[in-house]
Structures are given as C-alpha cells and as structure tokens.
C-alpha cells in the first residue's frame, strides 16, 4: 500500500524510485542522496513540474521587512546570537539543555552564544547544561575543546534515542546554520573556479542547461521569479533554493524522531531547538541576503560565524579553518521512512516512483 493520497511531512530516499528525468532524480543528481526536497512555497506547479508526492509544509513563514535595512550587519548578527540564546534558556525553563556539538562552525557558534549568556553559569552550576558529542567533535577544534569544554562542561556521547526520550531535556542544535548567509551546499555553477558566488545568476542557467529536459532551468527560474526580492547573484540563488526546498528535511531528520512518540514536536522548538532556524535568524537571513552581500567562495560564507567564534576564543588561526570531518561517525538509525501530516508513520523499503 503506497498511501500516495496521504500528505507527507517527510519521506526517506529509501522509499523513492527516481524516475530518470524526474524533478527528484535531477535534484538528487545535483544535491546528493540525503536532501529530501519539500516544496515549501508551492513553486513546482508554476514550473510545469508535477510532484507525485504531496507534502504539508511545517516550516514557519519568515517575517522580514526589506525596507528596514541596517548599515551594520555585523552588530545585528552578533545581537541575534544573544537574543536567540536568551530564547533558548527561556524555552528550557526548568529542564536541562543538551547542546549537540559536532565541533564544526555552527555548533561551536551556538555553544559560544550560550556560554556568553548571563544564564550560562546558572545552568552549568546546577548541572543543567551539558554537551552531546562524539570523539570526532574533538578533532574539529581541539584547542577549544581542551581549553574551554573538557575542564568545565559535562560531556556525553551523542545518543539520539536517550536525548529524545528524556522529557527533562531541551536539545539544542546548530542545524541549517549554513543556510543563514548564502548556502554552503550551493552547486558549483562555474566549474574550474572557487570564486563564483558573486557572479550573475545567469551563470546558473548556463550550467543547468546540461539537463536537456530543461526541467532544472525551469525550476530555478521559477523559484527566482517567486523570490521575495530580486535574485542577482549565485550566492543569493543558492540561498534561495535552500530556503525553497531544504528546510523541512532538516526539521524531520529521521534519527532525531525515530523513537519519539509525539511527532507534533517536529514542527516546534519545544524539544529540539534549532538555533539557526529561529525566527530571528530567519528575519536576519532574509533581510541580509536581500542586500546581495558580496561573497565569492563557499568558504567565505563562513566568515561571520568564524569571526563570532574567534572574538570569544581568541584563536585567530580558526579564521582559516577548513572543515575536517563530519558526524557520519555517529551511529545513526532511522525507524521511520515516511512521516505523514497526520503524524502517523511507516517503516518500509517500498519504492514509490517519482
């Protein structure tokens, strides 16, 4: 039974048979296996693309005012960390906080924001703040770990089941931190060069023309036509495509929700606080990206968060940090390959043609 009539929140690629030339096959070809594109803004029908799957969007709308620009985006960027950290502590209430720490830029920035907040000591001293990590988390930023984490903050191995089943715990993640400014998963639209993000958006259409069906070009043009502001650069384009298709997958990551009974929590920040998916970051992101900020390389997109971290840790060498490892070393399991809008779910390998 395929249940194609039911509205989905999430579907695993294990349940998909990618028909050659289909939207999902072409998307996977460019972005890889794991993103599960969900059409957040209902763009696909306008691009002449028929999606056999029916999703219900649970990503909250972004609130922004493109006329309320500021001349000092850095100040606003730093202030947003503090404001969101404040919301995290308030949201935790009497519960403990577990910070998911991969050692990468986003989770480090989240931890730094929480450590700088006035309520940090209160939570730490009462044993209500700890870090969930793996041994690979150490290798990403060893100076910070040995100096600031190991001697001071309790650490525990990342175990999604335990974390998610503990009702006395708020899980804080840095998910989608790389979607706030540009998107580090942007396709390398101009082969042979790293400096391409500031180039005009038309380069993308040239690159995507390799797909003779024209579906991807139509998709990207359709998305651009429905953007909240004019998309001029490849940097803005990568960011906007991420906004259009990739946020819901992050919210529904199966290893988080595999053992959770109340799946309605997925659409909220009551159990998992996705720091960079907070509405304040959304607002910052939309307003900042509307200015077409000048970034050239994918690495340069991380300048703001790196600078934020270094301002706290003092490790200037971190500004040149490249990504070392990923959390693939965590034993991730999924027990739900399809989650429906009515919060029922299935686990099977039945392939649905797309």
Helices in 314-351 by DSSP H: which ranges? none
Dist CA 136 CA 154 (whole Å): 17
Dist CA 349 CA 139 (whole Å): 36
Output DSSP code: residue 62.
P
Residue 2 interacts with another protein (CB under 8 A): yes or no: no
Q: Which two tokens stand for residue 204?
A: 């993308």
Is residue 257 within 8 Å of residue 263, measured between CB atoms? yes
Dist CA 334 CA 326 (whole Å): 18
Q: Find the part of the chain contacting another protein (CB under 8 A) among 74-82, 155-163, 233-241, 262-270.
A: 155-163
Residue 74 interacts with another protein (CB under 8 A): yes or no: no
What part of residues 30-49 is at the interface with another protein (CB under 8 A)? Answer: 33
Residue 347 interacts with another protein (CB under 8 A): yes or no: yes
Residue 286's alpha-carbon distances to 62, 107, 206, 324, in angstroms, are 8, 21, 26, 29
Which CB atom, from 342 or from 348, has the smaller least distance to another protein? 348
Give me the least distance between CB of 327 and another protein, in Å please. Answer: 12
Q: Find the part of the chain contacting another protein (CB under 8 A) among 78-86, 90-98, 171-179, 329-337.
A: 329-337
Kind plus residue range of the DSSP H or E element containing 155: strand 155-157
Q: Which of 3, 122, 202, 348 binds another protein (CB under 8 A)?
A: 348
Give me the least distance between CB of 105 and another protein, in Å please. Answer: 22
Dihedral-angle region of residue 49 (phi above 0 means left; psi in -120 to 50 means alpha; beta otherwise) = beta
Residue 107 interacts with another protein (CB under 8 A): yes or no: no
Q: Which of 42, 157, 214, 314 binds another protein (CB under 8 A)?
A: 157
Which CB atom, from 165 or from 333, has the smaller least distance to another protein? 333
What is the Cα 273 distance to its own chain's centre? 12
What part of residues 117-146 is at the interface with another protein (CB under 8 A)? Answer: 134-135, 146
Query: Which spans of this chain sit near another protein (rule: CB under 8 A)?
Result: 12, 14, 33, 134-135, 146, 150-151, 155-157, 159, 254-255, 329, 331-335, 337, 347-350
């Amino acid at each position: 039974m395929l249940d194609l009539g039911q509205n989905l929140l999430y579907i695993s690629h294990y349940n998909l048979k990618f028909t050659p030339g289909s939207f999902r096959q072409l998307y996977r070809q460019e972005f890889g296996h794991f993103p599960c594109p969900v059409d957040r803004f209902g763009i696909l029908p306008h691009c002449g693309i028929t999606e056999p799957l029916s999703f219900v969007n649970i990503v909250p709308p972004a609130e922004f005012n493109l006329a309320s620009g500021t001349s000092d985006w850095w100040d606003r960027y730093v202030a947003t960390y503090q404001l969101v950290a404040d919301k995290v502590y308030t949201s935790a209430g009497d519960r403990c906080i577990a910070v998911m720490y991969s050692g990468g830029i986003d989770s480090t920035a989240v931890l730094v924001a929480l450590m700088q907040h006035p309520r940090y000591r209160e939570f730490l001293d009462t044993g209500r703040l700890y870090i969930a990590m793996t041994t690979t988390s150490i290798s990403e930023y060893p100076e910070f770990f040995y100096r600031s984490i190991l001697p001071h903050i309790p650490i525990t191995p990342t175990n999604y089941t335990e974390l998610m089943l503990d009702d006395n715990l708020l899980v804080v993640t840095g998910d989608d931190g790389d979607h706030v400014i540009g998107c580090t998963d942007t396709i390398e639209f101009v082969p042979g060069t790293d400096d391409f993000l500031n180039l005009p958006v038309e380069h993308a259409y040239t690159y995507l023309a390799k797909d003779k069906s024209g579906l991807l070009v139509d998709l990207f043009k359709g998305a651009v036509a429905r953007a909240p502001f004019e998309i001029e650069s490849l940097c803005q384009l990568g960011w906007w495509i991420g906004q259009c298709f990739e946020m819901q997958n992050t919210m529904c990551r199966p290893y988080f929700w595999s053992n959770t009974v109340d799946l309605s929590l997925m659409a909220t920040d009551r159990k998992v606080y996705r720091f960079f998916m907070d509405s304040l970051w959304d607002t910052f992101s939309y307003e900042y990206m509307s200015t077409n900020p000048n970034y050239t390389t994918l690495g340069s997109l991380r300048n703001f968060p790196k600078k934020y971290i270094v301002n706290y840790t003092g490790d200037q060498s971190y500004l040149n940090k490249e990504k070392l490892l990923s959390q693939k070393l965590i034993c991730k399991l999924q027990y739900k390959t399809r989650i429906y809008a009515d919060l029922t779910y299935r686990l099977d390998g039945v392939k649905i043609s797309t």
